[in-house]
């Protein structure tokens, strides 16, 4: 029997919208892993397509929570970060890595701050550079192409890049200090999309490609990252974990695209049995 594991995930709660903690908690839990959460902020909805959303910053609550957990001698086998709302929160996460991990805890950073060549609302280049310092402490970094480019001051190429561009991006992320980089949103040919995996010392990039759907869905980055965390903590290697996570994300997207009214998120819930069955093989 596998030894029970405990994961801490640090990111916002968008109460409606199937992203951030509302996907991380159920997905990692479904993988059979005890999941603790530390919210960085609370939003009424995510910011993609909704208007008039509310936002409450929880930065000031974080130090007391971490102090309490340390007093209770709580520790985690993996700490996984998603959306962080400020440079101060990045520094607080570094402190968590030092204080709350088991001796061999995995530090997994999804630098959720940009996509399609643009930073998310409220972020600037200074934040991207600060996020790069957090990625530098990670065992595994999970950027998309935009995030990797912005953290490493590399020109962003949205289409028409080649493998040498992707290799350069990944080498630069590793040079920040990350031990392994899993780069999402990679595509060399029409109709395909995939992930690229590179660890320090690897001679070649490992890839996994799948069908690229014509219509995108909100929250797929968080869904992929959460499933990846579940798979890696269950013992999969990075490429195998990325493969499981990509297949799960794609399955949720296919289900979602059968419902034209579901524009604000991805129906990952209906694909959870597939993820569970795969990890229990």
Q: Left if phi > 0, otherwise alpha if psi is -120 to 50, otherwise beta: which for 175?
A: alpha
- pLDDT attached to residue 91: 97
- Long-range (24+ apart) CB contacts under 8 A made by 240-246 are 242/182, 242/195, 242/197, 242/208, 243/195, 243/208, 244/275, 244/278, 244/279, 246/194, 246/195, 246/208, 246/210
Please give the torsion angle defined by the CA atoms of residues 9, 14, 20 and 24, in that order, rounded to the nearest 10 degrees: 60
- Long-range (24+ apart) CB contacts under 8 A made by 67-75 are 69/100, 70/99, 70/100, 74/36, 74/100, 75/6, 75/100, 75/101, 75/102, 75/105
May I ask the CATH class of domain 6-279? alpha beta
What DSSP letter does each residue of 215-275 carry, written as one string? S--TTHHHHHHHHHHHHHHTT--HHHHHHHHHHHHHHHHHHHTT-TT--SS--GGGGHHHH
- What average pLDDT does the structure give for the chain? 96
The domains of the chain are located at 6-279
Q: What is the pLDDT of residues 114-171, one digit of tens each?
A: 999 999 988 999 999 999 999 999 999 999 999 999 999 999 999 999 999 999 999 9
Q: Is the pLDDT of residue 184 over 50?
A: yes
Q: Is the pLDDT of residue 1 over 60?
A: no
Distance CA 90, CA 111 (A): 10
- The one-character DSSP state at 60 is G
Cβ-contact 22, 44 below 8 angstroms = no
- pLDDT attached to residue 2: 58
Q: What is the token pair recorded at 168? A: 């350069």
Q: What is the pLDDT of residues 3-59, one digit of tens each?
A: 689 999 999 999 999 999 999 999 999 999 999 999 999 999 998 889 999 999 999
Q: Is the pLDDT of residue 190 over 50?
A: yes
Q: What is the pLDDT of residues 74-126, one digit of tens each?
A: 999 999 999 998 999 999 999 999 999 999 999 999 999 999 999 998 899 99
Cβ-contact 108, 232 below 8 angstroms = yes
pTM, entire model:
0.96
Distance CA 150, CA 72 (A): 39
- Greatest C-alpha distance within the chain: 53
Q: How far apart are the first and last CA of the chain?
A: 13
């Amino acid at each position: 029997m596998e030894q029970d594991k405990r994961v801490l995930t640090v990111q916002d709660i968008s109460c409606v919208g199937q992203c951030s903690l509302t996907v991380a908690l159920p997905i990692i839990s479904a993988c059979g892993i005890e999941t603790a959460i530390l919210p960085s902020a609370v939003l009424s909805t995510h910011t993609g397509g909704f208007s008039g959303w509310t936002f409450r910053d929880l930065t000031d609550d974080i130090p007391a929570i971490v102090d309490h957990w340390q007093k209770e001698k709580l520790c985690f086998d993996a700490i996984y970060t998603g959306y962080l709302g400020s440079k101060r929160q990045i520094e607080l996460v570094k402190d968590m890595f030092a204080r709350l991990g088991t001796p061999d805890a995995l530090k997994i950073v999804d630098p959720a701050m940009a996509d399609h060549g643009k930073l998310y609302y409220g972020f600037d280049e200074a934040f991207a550079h600060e996020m790069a310092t957090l990625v530098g402490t990670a065992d595994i970094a999970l950027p998309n192409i935009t995030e990797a480019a912005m953290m490493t001051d590399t020109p962003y190429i949205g289409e028409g890049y080649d493998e040498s561009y992707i290799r350069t991006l990944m080498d630069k992320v590793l040079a920040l200090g990350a031990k392994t980089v899993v780069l999402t949103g990679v595509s060399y040919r029409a109709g395909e999309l995939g992930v690229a995996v590179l660890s320090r010392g690897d001679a070649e990039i490992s890839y996994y490609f799948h069908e690229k759907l014509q219509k995108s869905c909100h929250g797929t980055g968080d869904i992929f990252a959460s499933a990846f965390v579940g798979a890696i903590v269950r013992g999969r290697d990075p490429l195998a974990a990325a493969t499981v996570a990509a297949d799960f994300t794609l399955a949720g997207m296919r289900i979602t695209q059968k419902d034209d009214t579901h524009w604000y998120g991805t129906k990952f819930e209906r694909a959870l049995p597939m993820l569970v069955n795969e990890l229990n093989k």
